[in-house]
Amino acid sequence: MAASWSGGGRHRGAGKSSGARRSGATERGATRGDPRAAGTRSGRLRLSRRCLDREPSRRGERANVWRALFARSCQPAVAPTGLEPTAAHHAGDAARRGSDSAVAGGALAGAQKRADEQGATIVWVDASGCYLLPRAVRTWAPRGETPILRVPLTRDHRSAISALTLDGRLFLQVRKDSYDGEAVVGFLRVLWRKIAGKLVVIWDGSPIHHGQVVKDFLAAGAAKRLHLERLPGDAPDLNPDEGIWNYLKRVELGNACCSDLADLRHRLRRAAVRVRHKPDIIRACSQQCGYLL
C-alpha cells in the first residue's frame, strides 16, 4: 500500500497525490528561504512515496526514512518568536574542582605569607607506596618488537613518606610496614633535626596525621618550632609532593623490574638521590601548585 504524507492527513488518488507533491515542493522551498522554519515542531517531514509495507526487510526504504530523519534533526534549532535563546552553560561550573582549589590555594597563600614573616620553613609531606609491579610507561624498542616486562604478579610493596621545601630540598623515608601515628612522629623528628628554625608542615587530612600520638608530640614541646597545617579535602593538586611521587614512579622508576623488596628499596632510595640533584624539578612542582618561590 503506497502512502504519501503532507501535513497531518493522508491523501488518496493520483490528483490528490500530485497536489500533495506540489504542496510539499512549495513547503520545501519556503523552508529554504525562511530559516526560522527549521528545527520547529510545526515543520513537516516528507517521506518517499515508495511502498513501505511490501517488503519490510528491504534496507533501501529504511535508509531513505533514516536519511530524512537525520537531515531534519541536524538542522539548527531557532528560538521561537518573542523568546530569547538561553546562554549555554557548562554543567557543574559552580562546583568545579578548580574553583575549590583556587579558594583553598588562597588560604594556603596566607599561611605561606605568615611563614615568611616568622622566618619559618614550609614543608609539604605526603605518604605513598611502591609496589614490585612495575609502572609501565612509554619507552624505546626496536621496530616491530613490543617490549615485554616479565615480573611476578604480587602486591608486595614498601611504604614511604617524603617531604620537600620551596628551596628544592627533598627528604625520603622507607619502611616495611604501613605508616601509623608513631611512624609519622618519627619522620617529623627527622625533619626537626634536618631543618633549622621553625617549621610549617602542610599535609592532607589522613587520620594518622592528627592522632593522639601526634598531639602528644606537639604538647611535649614540639609546638614551639613545629606548626601543622591541614590541606583541604579533595585537593591533592595543592600538594607539590604529589608531583614528586609522580615523577619518581613514572620517570625515575618507570619500567623498573625489581627482583625483590630489597631491590625495590634500593632503587627507590637511589631515585630519591637523583631527584635531590635536580632542585629545578622540585621547585617546578611547587610552582605548578601556584606557590611563590
| pLDDT tens digit sequence for 95-137 | 344 444 554 555 566 666 667 667 889 999 999 999 888 888 8
Question: Is there a contact between 4 and 20 (Cβ–Cβ < 8 Å)?
Answer: yes
Please name the residue that has the C-alpha cell 609519622.
184
Cell of 48: 518517499
pLDDT computed for residue 214 by the predictor: 95
Query: In terms of C-beta distances under 8 Å and separation of at least 24 residues, what long-range contacts does 2-5 make, across chains too?
Result: 2/49, 2/50, 2/51, 3/47, 3/49, 3/52, 4/47, 4/49, 5/44, 5/45, 5/46, 5/47
pLDDT computed for residue 23 by the predictor: 42
Cell of 219: 604538647
Residue 3 CA to residue 9 CA, distance in Å, equals 11
Read off the pLDDT of residues 44-53 as tens digits, 9 standing for 90 and up: 555 555 544 5
User: With left for phi above 0 and alpha for psi between -120 and 50, is residue 188 left, alpha or beta?
Assistant: alpha
Q: Which is the CATH superfamily of the domain at 105-143+151-288?
A: Ribonuclease H-like superfamily/Ribonuclease H (3.30.420.10)
- Cβ within 8 Å of residue 232, ≥6 positions away: 100, 104, 107, 238
Q: What are the phi and psi torsion angles at 203 (to 5°)? A: -150, 180
Nearest by Cα to 229 from 59, 139, 110: 110
How many C-beta atoms lie closer than 10 Å to residue 132's C-beta?
Answer: 20
Q: What are the phi and psi torsion angles at 280 (to 5°)? A: -65, -35
Cell of 247: 615523577
Strand partners, 40: none
Provide the 8-state DSSP code for 36. G
Alpha helix positions (H), the chain: 14-33, 59-73, 97-118, 181-194, 212-219, 240-247, 261-276, 279-288
Provide the 8-state DSSP code for 53. S
Strand pairing category for 5-6 and 9-10: antiparallel
CA contacts within 13 A on the Cβ side of 287: 9
Residue 7 CA to residue 19 CA, distance in Å, equals 12
Domain boundaries, the chain: 5-73, 105-143+151-288
Question: Is there a contact between 31 and 38 (Cβ–Cβ < 8 Å)?
Answer: yes
- 247-285 core/surface letters (b: 16 or more CB in 10 A; e: else): bbbeebbeebebeebeebbebbeebbeebbeeeebbbbb
- Whether 19 shows a pLDDT value over 70: the answer reads no
| Mean pLDDT of the chain, nearest integer | 73
Read off the pLDDT of residues 148-183 as tens digits, 9 standing for 90 and up: 888 778 888 999 999 999 889 999 999 999 999 999
- Whether 4 shows a pLDDT value over 90: the answer reads no
Confidence of residue 293 (pLDDT cuts 50, 70, 90): low
